[in-house]
Amino acid sequence: MYPSSTPVEDAQDGQDDLIFLDEHPAPATTGSNRPTWRVMIIDDDEDVHSTTTFALGNLEMQHRPLEFVHAYSAGQAREMLKHEANIAVILLDVVMEQDDAGLHLVRYIRETLKLADVRIILRTGQPGYAPEIDAIRDFDINDYKTKSELTRIKLFTTVTAAIRSYEQIRAISTSQRGLGEIVRASTELMALHGVKNFASGVLTQVADILAIAPNGVLCVHDCTESDSHELNIMATTGSMRRLGAGRLAAADDARISAAMERALAERRNLYDPQFVVLYFAGKASRDFVGFLELGAPISEIDERLLEVFCGNVAVGLDNVELVSHLHNAAFYDKLSKLPNRTRLVEILDATLAGPGRDDATLALVDIDHFAETNDALGHQFGDMLLVAVAARLQLQLGRQLTVARIGSDIFCVLGDATAVNPENILALFATPFLIDGQDVQISATLGLVRLTEHDGSGADALKDADIALKRAKSQQRNGHFYFSRSMGIEIRERVRMMHALRKGFLANELFVVYQPQIDLVTRRPTGAEALLRWQTSDGILISPDRFIPIAEYSGLIIEIGEWVLRGACHELVRLRAAGYLDLTMSINVSQVQFRHPLFPVMLCAALEDSKAPPEFIELEITESMAMEEPDQLIEMLAQIKQTGVSIAIDDFGTGFSSLSYLQRLQVDRLKIDRAFVTEITGSARGSSIAEMVIQLGRNLGLSVVAEGVEDERQAAVLQALGCPMAQGFLFARPLTAAALHEWLANDGLMPLA
């Protein structure tokens, strides 16, 4: 390393060196512990190093002296810059080992070392090697000078401008980093729950921002008591833990107490070389004040950052109780104070990941007929009942279990299988609940899942328990059902088919076939029943018994049913155009579809659009549908009958019909179920049920059709019993529209002229 100053007389004449003329040389620099600006000189001429340090060595810029770092080649500079820190300015010769060594070094500094703050001043003794304008712009070169034009004053001016620029850039960078730290600190603080944790977090985050040890205390002052100087400790860190908890007294530490009281009185932060006092203005008649020990004075930038941080934290401290309230609202049921569904899923996930999984059982407890109780006795009474159920589950099952409320009238119990079993839980409902002075007897239905048999997440376990609960409720009230893997497979298959059906419907995989209905005396067709079929893209036929319940469950049956209705109406019109004027088109209507409030509108639209004559349209509903809520059905049928279509009851005899309702329904036809047609020749009971249905139809003035006729003996018996019409494989299988037209022509039913 060469001296930082070199006498100007030592410079050699005749060379393209840096020589200062018409100016007095600067005195040599002296050592100091004050902060300095580090200037790196990179030049292969030793005289340039000595004259530069000689000229600037004893000058101050921006209230700091200069410190010089020397490199005598671009290669040496590369190695030094990997380790040298806080270089403010680089005075760089353009031409060194090669003509463009300086420019290559600039690229290395900016692109490889990623040193964006340092200011670079290019110098050259050969003006012909001046960098291109693009290079000056792209590599953020601060200035470019020829050595011959750099007098001492001009060099001072150039370096001063570069240092000012460096100082501003560093200030901006520091502020950006500091603001980033504030955002990070504020985010981490908001994740803390409770006033104590938040207060402790404030001290830790301030220490992180200042990069100091977290030795501090945070206190709260009640502003409503104007004469009170009492400070209550909320949190302590580091060496301040010696202060303990409770009230901060002057006897504990007079310095801390005095500083905090001054900050509260002046309502501002205080900055001392030994400590910092932070003031947080509250909005709830309470102010907060924090004290942290410092190892050294902090910078002006740090002070400004702390002002910003205190503004953020003041809002956080003031609202920490609101945050705690929101946390409780997010994870706990407001009425019962029990964990809610969200919290339960967290507990389930932890249980599934822990050692208690093998012995744990999850039970959903559904209060039977709670809605009726709530409606009859009022919501306030219902709330008191739910609180009583929550208390009994907690107290009598034991605190070692988790009890949660995850729905209006659904509780959950999680714990060891020996405690979480149906007998224990259902026994709790044997004793009436005393609510508002009256005994209320209720029952419950359980759905359970053993976690050792469960492979998914906590949310999946809850779904499995819900599946078991639905199965239990479908079988009986006041009972229970354990989830099994087969149930899960069944549910997943149902969901898979539901998606496949929706996709298949959009892809035109569904189609309608028509099965002729025959007059048993003349053996001539009298109509056809429209039947829905599904053939997947790979040619597999899916049975209607499988996909129609899925369509009903998903609600897709509304759209599919309307499509079938319209298609059948249009097909009837085509048959009539072909001359088959006496055929009736029978169309099955799902219970879900039939009970849709807009079904009459859909029916009228289909009739209007297709121009199908309503007197030749027959809608088929099942006997079970007819007997479920018959009063509502009678009203719906009255609207439908006004359109002119007729009504048939399908699968008659399989349900439990009320003859009085049957008369009020105003139906037009009964269809004998295929099971009773089969019994004609295959059962000891023979034709008794079929005969009864035929006789009932005759007495009520209703037409009768027998389904599933497969041989001549069945047809003969039905004809002998007085059944007028039948359909089945004996006469024809379900046919596509084109095949139906061909079948009608080949079986001798000639179109009318």
569 shares its domain with 718: yes
357 shares its domain with 441: yes
Asked if residues 123 and 146 have their Cβ atoms less than 8 Å apart, the reply is yes
**Any idea what the CATH number is for the domain that residue 101 is in?**
3.40.50.2300
Give the pairing type, strands 669-672 and 646-652: parallel
Does residue 262 form part of some domain?
A: yes
438 shares its domain with 477: yes
317 shares its domain with 364: no
Q: Which two tokens stand for residue 634?
A: 């009678």
**Any idea what the CATH number is for the domain that residue 319 is in?**
3.30.450.40
How many domains, the chain?
Answer: 4
Does residue 98 form part of some domain?
A: yes
552 shares its domain with 701: yes
> What confidence score (pLDDT) does residue 376 get?
81
504 shares its domain with 458: no
d(CA 182, CA 310): 10
| Phi and psi torsions of 666, nearest 5° | 60, 40
387 shares its domain with 425: yes
Does residue 433 form part of some domain?
A: yes
Closest-CA residue to 721 (of 684, 696, 687): 687
Does residue 524 form part of some domain?
A: yes
Does residue 348 form part of some domain?
A: yes
**Any idea what the CATH number is for the domain that residue 338 is in?**
3.30.70.270
213 shares its domain with 273: yes
Write the DSSP assignment of 376-433 as a string of letters: HH-HHHHHHHHHHHHHHHHHHH-TTSEEEE-SSSEEEEEEETTTSSHHHHHHTTSSPE
Does residue 488 form part of some domain?
A: no
- Which residues, including other chains, have CB under 8 Å from residue 356's CB and lie 6 or more apart? 416
> What confidence score (pLDDT) does residue 509 get?
95
Boundary of a domain, candidates 303, 326, 349: 326
504 shares its domain with 474: no
Write the DSSP assignment of 138-160 as a string of letters: HTT--EEEEGGG--HHHHHHHHH
Does residue 185 form part of some domain?
A: no
Asked if residues 240 and 217 have their Cβ atoms less than 8 Å apart, the reply is yes
78 shares its domain with 94: yes
- Which residues, including other chains, have CB under 8 Å from residue 209's CB and lie 6 or more apart? 178, 181, 182, 185, 302, 305, 306, 309
Does an H or E element contain 686, and which?
none
Boundary of a domain, candidates 483, 511, 527: 483
Write the DSSP assignment of 466-503 as a string of letters: HHHHHHHHHH-SS-EEE--HHHHHHHHHHHHHHHHHHH
> What confidence score (pLDDT) does residue 214 get?
86
Write the DSSP assignment of 283-305 as a string of letters: SSSEEEEEEEE-SSPPPHHHHHH
Boundary of a domain, candidates 299, 326, 353: 326
d(CA 496, CA 686): 42
Q: Which two tokens stand for residue 662?
A: 């049957």
Q: Which two tokens stand for residue 525?
A: 């067709």
> What confidence score (pLDDT) does residue 175 get?
57
- Contacts by residues 229-235 (CB-CB < 8 Å, ≥ 24 positions apart): 229/261, 231/257, 231/260, 231/261, 231/289, 234/195, 234/196, 234/199, 234/288, 235/196, 235/199, 235/200, 235/202, 235/203
**Any idea what the CATH number is for the domain that residue 527 is in?**
3.20.20.450
**Chain length of the chain:** 753
Q: Which two tokens stand for residue 223?
A: 């502003």
d(CA 250, CA 231): 10
Does residue 399 form part of some domain?
A: yes
204 shares its domain with 317: yes
76 shares its domain with 214: no
> What confidence score (pLDDT) does residue 275 get?
92
Low-confidence ranges of the chain (pLDDT < 70): 1-33, 125-140, 142, 148-150, 171-196, 223-229, 250-252, 282-285, 312, 314-327, 476-478, 488, 626-629, 653-661, 683-686, 748-753
β-partners of residue 231 are 248
Give the domain range for residue 595: 497-746
